[in-house]
Amino acid sequence: MTQHTLHPDLWVDNYADYLFNFAVGRVSDAEVAKDLVSETFLAGLKSAKNYKGDAAERTWLIAILKRKVIDHYRKSNSKKGKAEVRMTYSKTSDAEGDWLEEQVADPFSTLDNTAMENEELGLAIQECIAKLPKKQALVFTMKTIQGISTEDICNELEINPSNLWVMIHRARTGLMECLNKNWF
């Protein structure tokens, strides 16, 4: 296996544009992206002694940047007074299939997502849920994230099961479109 070394004096020239494009794609704000890249370089310098050389320099910096993006969303969500949404999959619910929102919370996922990538994806899903029509977002959250039974949701919202499944299907379609634009 190749051992990589760090060259902090070349980071700005070699990686600044790549890191900036990566960050701006996640936060959609050029100024915030610039700050995140600066914070990434600073954190890289501070933790250079912990660099083992297993990953390429750029890969290591991207991992730091991903954490900075997650921290950014945590801070902005806490400033708005929003609680962090924990996405869990309940095996007792009647949801079926390998849905993306189930994958986020699965630490034993067969996909090659790290815990950090799962958390970042969870934040992206939350943002996309917020863009859905209110009733679709509510039904999707109740059913898929909170694991509430179809019967309880139908009774609470005064809808029939067919309506519920149509709303969930539309929500999933909307989420995938949003994530394809903003995440993948």
What is the residue-averaged pLDDT of the chain? 77
pLDDT surpasses 50 at 2: yes
Distances (CA, A) of 130 to 105, 126, 138, 143, 175: 19, 6, 10, 16, 10
Q: CB neighbours (10 Å) of residue 159?
A: 15
pLDDT value at residue 9: 92
pLDDT value at residue 110: 45
pLDDT value at residue 98: 44
Alpha carbon of residue 129 to chain centroid:
12
Same domain, 67 and 110: no
Residue 116: pLDDT band by 50, 70, 90 thresholds?
A: low
Spatial separation of the C-alpha atoms in residues 134 and 73, rounded to whole Å: 22
CA angle 22, 25, 29 (to 5 degrees): 110
Torsion of CA 18, 106, 1, 15, to 10 degrees: 10
Spatial separation of the C-alpha atoms in residues 170 and 178, rounded to whole Å: 12
Residue 149: pLDDT band by 50, 70, 90 thresholds?
A: confident
Spatial separation of the C-alpha atoms in residues 112 and 118, rounded to whole Å: 10
**Token pair in block for residue 121:** 């994806």
Q: Which residue range is the domain that position 66 belongs to?
A: 8-79
Spatial separation of the C-alpha atoms in residues 61 and 130, rounded to whole Å: 30
Q: Do residues 179 and 125 make contact, with C-beta atoms less than 8 angstroms apart? A: yes
Q: Among 39-43, 120-124, 165-169, which stretch is predicted with the lowest mean pLDDT?
A: 120-124
Tell me the CATH number at 34.
1.10.1740
Report the percentage of the chain scoring pLDDT > 90: 18
pLDDT value at residue 96: 44
Same domain, 152 and 118: yes
pLDDT digits (tens, 9 = 90+) for 72-104: 877 766 554 433 333 333 444 444 444 444 444
Say if 86 falls within a structural domain.
Answer: no
Say if 90 falls within a structural domain.
Answer: no
Number of domains in the chain: 2
Same domain, 106 and 175: yes
Residue with tokens 């969500």: 77
Output the pTM of the full model: 0.45
Which amino acid is residue 35, in one-letter code?
D
**Widest Cα–Cα separation across the chain:** 63
Spatial separation of the C-alpha atoms in residues 94 and 152, rounded to whole Å: 12
Q: Give, for 4, the enclosing helix (H) or strand (E).
A: none
pLDDT surpasses 70 at 184: no
pLDDT digits (tens, 9 = 90+) for 36-72: 999 999 999 998 888 888 888 888 898 899 888 888 8
Say if 3 falls within a structural domain.
Answer: no
Same domain, 54 and 109: no
In three-state secondary structure terms, 133 is coil
Residue with tokens 């070699």: 14
pLDDT surpasses 50 at 159: yes
Same domain, 121 and 61: no
pLDDT value at residue 88: 38
Tell me the CATH number at 133.
1.10.10.10
Same domain, 105 and 178: yes
Same domain, 105 and 172: yes
Residue 27: pLDDT band by 50, 70, 90 thresholds?
A: confident
Say if 91 falls within a structural domain.
Answer: no
Same domain, 52 and 126: no
Of 79, 109, 139, which closes a domain? 79
